Amino acid sequence: NMSSTDELSCVYASLILQDDDVAVTAEKIQTLLKAANVEVEPYWPSLFSKALESVDLKALITNVGSGVGAAAPAAGAPAGGAAPAADAGAAKKDDKKKKEPESEEEEDDDMGFGLFD
């Protein structure tokens, strides 16, 4: 658990540096951790700075879910052409209405909302 705390501390320090438009270096991470009175194993700051030196953190943060969301509609499109979005949404709603819970127990588990609704 200590290494995960060290790792998380370096992640937060890297994000703080990126947010302030400061270069993410081992020295800057270590300085920020010392200012926060957080002790980590000495190799973590240099490991993070080396891993992040070739990564555009700002682009990574702003495009977290764009790859997954963009690929899903293209994969589900019919071969004859793209279906209108309204028709696809209506078909999904009809499928949800047709499906009835198999038991009262299953109905209780649903509680009327979902993680991705």
pLDDT digits 0-9 by tens, 27-84: 999 999 999 999 999 999 999 999 888 888 888 778 777 665 444 444 445 454 444 5
Q: What is the pLDDT of residue 72?
A: 47
The matching CATH number, chosen from 3.40.220.10, 1.20.1630.10, 1.10.10.1410, 3.40.50.720, for 23-64 is 1.10.10.1410
State whether residue 99 is helix, strand or coil: coil
Q: What is the pLDDT of residue 114?
A: 60
pLDDT at 94 over 70: no
Residues 6+ apart with CB under 8 A from 45: 10, 13, 26, 27, 29, 30, 33
pLDDT at 90 over 90: no
Residues 6+ apart with CB under 8 A from 41: 3, 6
Residue with tokens 């990126």: 18
Rounded CA-CA distance 33/74 in Å is 44
Rounded CA-CA distance 51/15 in Å is 13
Q: How would residue 107 be classed by pLDDT, with cut points 50, 70 and 90?
A: low
